[in-house]
């Protein structure tokens, strides 16, 4: 949702209207009642992309940290950059934030080439650096006021405190906050200038599950407000839970990209039926393959995984098992997740890579 | 340049500093404790012997006898000076509190007094009026010895007289020497460690990366921090000076030259801290490195003890240390009232400040590689 101030051509009254970028709407002057059509402006010079990265490369000596990657982040979406530690996530995000100098490639942020236009977009972006710790001996409120005063465009600090549920802690010194609260303050700091694009670099790393959920809630609410969020993470669940669009980065390369559904459809098994501890598993596998189940794998210990294209086929499998008097311990059906996608793409588990 | 941002950052620095007990202790309580401690230890309270330099130009049995009588009083620590020494220059150079000169022809005059009633000899007593208790005691002892001699020699007629010569030289107490050194040292510590924190801890904590993406410029930020350093320097100077005046009854002079030197000192050591933080990236290691640089410098630059007490090669080293010039400038301007020497040293401090601060600003950056 964005705000557009509009001057009535009849009475000269100025009023604010709210709508989505590019939306056409009929408005009525609050003063004289004149009706008119209004088109809300597009963000990012109208092409719908807040961030465009093209052939980006970063080389440190012999190490290619980021290897010729290209992607675009749509205005208003939560874009998750998912990958294990050392994959090049932070290097990439810090190049977009102009903290690091790319070896090659171009970056357009809110329509500006950041090579010489980064200062122009500073007022319109908010970032939370990786492992950020703010000034220890300022209170939460003082910290937010401090950072907000660096900008010309300022959001109301009390509103941010309210929105991030920091009211009870607003007069506590930063150093006395718990890890989860510190991260929440970090996100709050990134909002003090009411930015259009927010960069959150591993905002939940090191947090306990409850604190992580709290931060997720905040990010989800940003999305509702129409903010573009660029999120880096090595947590599958985080990307699954929050992201509209996911780019999987591995060893400096983007190896897969799309919505969660896209990725699962393309690289995962849409649904998988698991048979636990099946007797005569090899025979069962060949039998199922004869019946036309293409993707059947044994996972050792007599466990079998069968990709299910259509839910009717579940009944087919069950009736076969019954007909042949096959013994097994249990059956469950699971939806494929990012973990599997990642496993399939890289041959390694993300969580192991991350640890 | 946005003055409001600079002011706002400054206010936040002061606020945070007031909340940091460690910071307050090291920048205020520590120097105060040192001043009180060193002042008490070295002010000579409770010493029972008084040092008296004696120059015997007569070198006769009679003059030797006179010296042995002085020695027999038991409270004087007699130091003999050879006859060819220029007494006023020697007193000046060695900060001597009291000395007595037995003139040539002393015994002749005393011998003549038995036949010539006008014969008379005057001993010269050089004393430092700033140290009244000590010189007063010594003078009383000498006077009583002379009175006794006069009585014995000539029954009441004053053959031997005593002329007082006040030596208003650079004759200062240890605390006079110590106080400006302590001010310079405290400001140096504050500037180096503050600067290191900003260049290592703030980098690790992502604060520098965060600031890089906000509209504040590095110039504004550095100016704001320097403003805070000036504030610390001012508080330090005022506090230490007030203690010097109230507790030790010192006369301390604060003029423009002192203020300029203090500002230059803040810049100088902030620059040094930036350089340390630039090359030693871990905060703890950088603090250790800062200690390894600042502590030897503190001793070698004549902060606590006069350079003259050190061997020659160490004195040479002192002359390449920036803190030496800070000490000299402050001492000359605040205590010795030798403003031309102060100016000369202040110019060296400013030159050091320009080099270190510029190098610090140029060689450090917010960006990552």
What CA–CA distance (Å, rounded) separates B182 from B180?
Answer: 5
Six token digits for residue B298:
């503190």
Are B270 and B225 spatial neighbours (Cβ–Cβ below 8 Å)?
yes
Strand-strand pairing, A78-82 and A228-233: parallel
pLDDT digits (tens, 9 = 90+) for B229-249: 999 999 999 999 999 899 888
Cross-chain Cβ contact B12/A146 below 8 Å: yes
Name the pTM for this structure.
0.73
CB A104 within 8 A of CB A70: no
Using the Cβ of B14 and the Cβ atoms of chain A, whether some distance falls under 8 Å is answered with: no
List % helix, strand, coil for chain A (3-state, nearest 5): 35, 30, 35
Q: What does each C-alpha distance from A105 to A7, A69, A114, A255 come to in angstroms?
A: 42, 9, 11, 18
Q: Which residue is closest to B6 within chain A, CA to CA?
A: A150
ipTM of the complex: 0.77
- Residue A222's Cβ-count burial label (10 Å; 0-12, 13-18, 19+) is buried
Q: Which residue has the higher pLDDT, B81 or A269?
A: B81
* Residue percentage of chain B with pLDDT more than 90: 42
pLDDT tens per residue across span B40-92:
777 654 445 678 899 998 888 888 888 888 888 878 888 888 888 888 888 87
DSSP symbols for A2-15: EEEEEE-TTT--EE
Taking alpha carbons only, the member of A301, A305, A312, A315 closest to residue A335 is A305
Q: Which two tokens stand for residue A328?
A: 């097994």
Q: Give dist(CA A223, CA A203) in Å, integer.
A: 15
Predicted confidence (pLDDT) at residue A87 exceeds the cutoff of 60 = yes
Task: Measure the CA–CA gap between B90 and B98, rounded to whole angstroms.
Answer: 11
Averaged pLDDT, B295-299: 89
Q: Are A166 and A185 in contact (CB under 8 A)?
A: yes
Identify the closest residue of chain A to B11 by CA–CA distance: A146
Q: Is residue A355 scored above 50 in pLDDT? A: no
User: Comparing A325 with B133, which gets the higher pLDDT?
Assistant: A325
CA distance A248 to A250: 7
| Residue A43 pLDDT greater than 60, yes or no | no
Query: If you measure CA to CA, which chain A residue comes closest to B206?
Result: A132
| Distance (Å, whole) CA A195 – CA B184 | 46
pLDDT on residue A199 = 97
The pLDDT value given to residue B276 = 93
Q: How confident is the model at residue A354 (pLDDT cuts 50, 70, 90)?
A: very low
Is A24:A33 a contact under the CB 8 Å cutoff? no
Angle at A22 between CA A18 and CA A25, to 5 degrees: 55
The Cα–Cα gap between B343 and B365 comes to: 34
Give the H or E element holding residue A200. strand A197-201
Q: Following DSSP, what letter does each residue of A2-49 receive, concatenated?
A: EEEEEE-TTT--EEEEEE-TT-EEEEE-TTT--EEEEEPPPSGGGTSE
Contact A101 B367 (CB under 8 A): yes
pLDDT band of residue A62 (cuts 50, 70, 90) is: very high
The shortest C-alpha distance from B213 to chain A (Å) reads 6
CA distance A73 to A93: 12
User: In 3-state terms, what secondary structure has residue A101?
Assistant: coil
- Using the Cβ of B21 and the Cβ atoms of chain A, whether some distance falls under 8 Å is answered with no
Q: How far apart are CA B153 and CA B143, in angstroms?
A: 15
Task: Please name the residues in contact with A206: beta carbons below 8 A apart, sequence gap of 6 or more.
Answer: A179
Q: b or e along B285-318 (b: 16 or more beta carbons within 10 Å of the residue's beta carbon)?
A: ebbebbeeebeebbebbbbbeebeebeeeeeebb
Mean pLDDT within A313-328: 85
- pLDDT at position A5 is 66
Rg (CA), chain A: 25
* Token pair of B229 as six digits: 């350093």
3-state secondary structure chain B: CCHHHHHHHHHHHHHHHHHCHHHHHHHHHHHHHHHHHHHHHHCCCCCCCEEEEEEECCCCHHHHHHHHHHHHCCCEEEEEECCCCCHHHHHHHHCCCEEEEECCCHHHHHHHCCCCCCCCEEEEEEECCCCHHHHHHHHHHHHHHHHHHHHHHHCCCCCEEEEEEECCCCCCCHHHHHHHHHHHHHHHHHHHHHHHHHHHHHHHCCHHHHHHCCCCCHHHHHHHHHHHHHHHHHHHHHHHHHHHHHHHCCCCCCCHHHHHHHHHHHHHHHHHHHHHHHHCCCHHHHHHHHHHHHHHHHHHCCCCCCHHHCCHHHHHHHCCCHHHHHHHHHHHHHHHCCHHHHHHHHHHHHHHHHHHHHHHHHHCCCCCC
Contacts of A203 in chain B (CB under 8 A): none
Question: What is the full DSSP assignment across A237-284?
Answer: HHHHHH-SEEEEEETTEEEEEE-HHHHHHHHS-SEEEEEES-TTHHHH
Specify the pLDDT at position B46.
43
pLDDT of residue A144: 97
pLDDT of B265 > 50? The answer is: yes
Mean pLDDT across B3-10 = 93
Q: What is the mean pLDDT of residues B356-363?
A: 94
Confidence of residue B39 (pLDDT cuts 50, 70, 90): confident
Highest mean pLDDT among A149-163, A282-296, B117-131: A149-163
More confident residue, A65 or A273: A65
DSSP code per residue over A290-316: HTT---EEE-STT-EEEEESSTHHHHH
Q: What's the average model confidence in pLDDT over B33-37?
A: 85
- Please, what's the largest Cα pairwise distance for chain A? 85
Residue B232's alpha-carbon distances to A48, A83, A163, B21, B98, in angstroms, are 51, 46, 38, 14, 41
Q: Which of B205, B213, B216 sits opposite A97 (nearest CB)?
A: B213
Tell how strand A24-28 and strand A35-39 pair up. antiparallel
Contact B215 A101 (CB under 8 A): no
- Measure A175 CA to nearest chain B CA, in Å: 11
Per the model's pLDDT, the better-predicted residue between A295 and B188 turns out to be B188
Nearest CA in chain B to A129: B206
Q: Is the pLDDT of residue B321 over 90?
A: yes
Instruction: Tell the burial category of A313 from Cβ atoms under 10 Å away from its Cβ (0-12, 13-18, 19+).
Output: middle
Q: Which site among B210, B224, B369 would you substitute to test the A interface, given the most A Cβ atoms closer than 10 Å to its Cβ?
A: B210
Q: What is the pLDDT of residues A175-202, one digit of tens each?
A: 999 998 999 999 999 999 999 999 999 9
Longest dimension (CA), chain B: 101
Instruction: Say how far apart CA B76 and CA B29 lie, in whole Å.
Output: 39
Beta bridge partners of A306: A273, A296
Report the distance separating Cα B175 and Cα B241, nearest Å.
Answer: 11
pLDDT confidence of residue A274 = 85
Q: At what angle do helices B283-300 and B174-196 cross, to 10 degrees?
A: 160
What length does chain A have? 355
Q: pLDDT at position A141, please?
A: 97
Residues composing chain B? 369
Q: Which residues have CB under 8 Å from B47's CB, separation 6+?
A: none
pLDDT 10s digits, A148-166: 999 999 999 999 999 899 9
Give me the mean pLDDT over the A33-45 stretch: 67
The answer to which of A53-57, B25-29, B287-291 has the lowest mean pLDDT is: B25-29
Q: Does A128 score more than 70 pLDDT?
A: yes
Residues of chain A with pLDDT > 70: what percent?
93
CA distance B76 to A46: 96
Q: Tell me the pLDDT band of A103, cut-offs 50, 70 and 90.
A: very high
Token pair recorded at residue B346: 């202040």
Q: How many CA atoms lie within 13 A of A150 on its CB side?
A: 31
Average pLDDT, rounded, for chain B: 87
Distances (CA, A) of B100 to A309, B61, B138, B260, B336: 115, 17, 10, 42, 25
Residues of B in contact with A146 (CB under 8 A): 8-9, 12
CB < 8 Å to B4, chain A: 149
The chain B residue lying nearest A130, using CA atoms, is B206
| B324/B261 Cα distance (integer angstroms) | 12
Q: What is the pLDDT of residue B41?
A: 76
**Can you tell me the mean pLDDT for A99-124?**
94
Q: Is B283 on the interface with A (CB under 8 A)?
A: no
What number is the average pLDDT over the span A252-270?
A: 85
């Amino acid at each position: 949702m964005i705000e557009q101030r509009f001057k009535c051509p009849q009475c000269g009254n100025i009023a604010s209207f709210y709508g989505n970028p590019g939306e056409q709407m009929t408005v009525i002057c609050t003063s004289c009642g004149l009706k008119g059509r209004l088109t809300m402006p597009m963000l990012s010079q109208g092409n719908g992309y807040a961030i465009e990265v093209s052939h980006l490369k970063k080389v440190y000596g012999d190490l290619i940290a980021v290897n010729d990657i290209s992607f675009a982040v749509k205005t208003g979406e939560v874009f998750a950059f998912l990958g294990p530690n050392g994959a090049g996530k932070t290097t990439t995000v810090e190049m977009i934030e102009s903290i690091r100098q790319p070896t090659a490639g171009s970056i357009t942020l809110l329509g500006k080439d950041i090579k010489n236009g980064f200062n122009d977009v500073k007022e319109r972006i908010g970032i939370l650096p990786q492992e950020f710790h703010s000034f220890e001996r300022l209170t939460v409120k003082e910290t937010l006021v401090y950072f907000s005063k660096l900008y010309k465009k300022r959001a109301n600090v009390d509103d941010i405190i309210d929105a991030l549920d920091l009211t009870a802690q607003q007069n506590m010194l930063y150093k006395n906050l718990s890890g989860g609260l510190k991260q929440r303050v970090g996100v709050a700091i990134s909002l003090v200038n009411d930015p259009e694009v927010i960069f959150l670099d591993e905002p939940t790393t090191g947090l306990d599950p409850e604190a992580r959920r709290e931060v997720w809630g905040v990010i989800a609410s940003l999305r509702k407000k129409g903010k573009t969020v660029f999120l880096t993470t090595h947590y599958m669940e985080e990307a699954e839970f929050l992201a509209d669009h996911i780019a999987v980065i591995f060893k400096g390369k983007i190896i897969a990209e799309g919505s969660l559904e896209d990725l699962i459809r393309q690289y995962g098994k849409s649904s998988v039926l698991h048979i636990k501890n099946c007797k005569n598993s090899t025979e069962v596998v060949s039998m199922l393959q004869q019946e036309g189940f293409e993707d059947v794998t044994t996972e050792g210990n007599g466990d079998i995984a069968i990709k299910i294209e259509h839910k009717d086929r579940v009944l087919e499998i069950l009736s076969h098992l019954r007909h042949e008097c096959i013994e097994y311990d249990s059956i469950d059906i699971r939806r494929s997740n990012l973990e599997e996608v990642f496993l399939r793409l890289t041959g390694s588990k993300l969580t192991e890579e991350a640890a | 340049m946005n003055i409001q941002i600079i002011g706002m950052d400054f206010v936040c620095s002061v606020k945070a500093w007031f909340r940091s007990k460690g910071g307050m202790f090291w920048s205020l309580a520590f120097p105060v404790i040192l001043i009180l401690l060193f002042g008490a230890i070295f002010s000579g309270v409770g010493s029972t012997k008084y040092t008296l330099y004696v120059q015997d130009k007569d070198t006769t049995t009679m003059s030797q006898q006179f010296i042995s009588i002085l020695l027999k009083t038991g409270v004087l620590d007699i130091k003999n000076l050879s006859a060819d020494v220029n007494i006023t220059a020697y007193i000046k150079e060695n900060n001597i509190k009291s000395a007595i000169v037995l003139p040539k022809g002393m015994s002749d005059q005393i011998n003549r007094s038995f036949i010539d009633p006008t014969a008379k000899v005057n001993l010269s007593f050089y004393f430092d009026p700033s140290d009244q208790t000590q010189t007063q005691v010594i003078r009383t002892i000498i006077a009583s010895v002379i009175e006794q001699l006069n009585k014995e020699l000539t029954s009441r007629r004053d053959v031997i007289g005593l002329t007082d010569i006040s030596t208003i030289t650079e004759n200062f107490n240890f605390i006079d020497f110590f106080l400006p050194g302590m001010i310079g040292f405290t400001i140096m510590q504050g500037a180096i460690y503050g600067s290191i924190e900003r260049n290592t801890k703030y980098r690790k904590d992502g604060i520098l990366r965060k600031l890089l993406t906000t509209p504040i410029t590095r110039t504004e930020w550095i100016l704001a921090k320097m403003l805070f350093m000036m504030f610390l320097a001012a508080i330090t100077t005022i506090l230490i000076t007030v203690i010097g005046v109230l507790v030790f009854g010192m006369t301390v002079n604060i003029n423009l030259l002192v203020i300029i030197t203090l500002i230059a000192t803040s810049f100088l050591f902030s620059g040094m801290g930036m350089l340390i933080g630039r090359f030693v990236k871990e905060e703890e290691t950088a603090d250790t490195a800062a200690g390894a640089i600042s502590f030897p410098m503190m001793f070698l630059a004549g902060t606590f003890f006069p350079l003259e007490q050190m061997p020659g090669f160490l004195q040479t080293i002192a002359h390449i240390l920036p803190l030496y010039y800070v000490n000299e400038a402050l001492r000359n301007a605040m205590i010795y009232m030798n403003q031309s020497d102060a100016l000369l040293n202040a110019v060296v401090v400013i030159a050091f400040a320009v080099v270190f601060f510029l190098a610090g600003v140029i060689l450090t950056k917010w960006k990552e590689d």
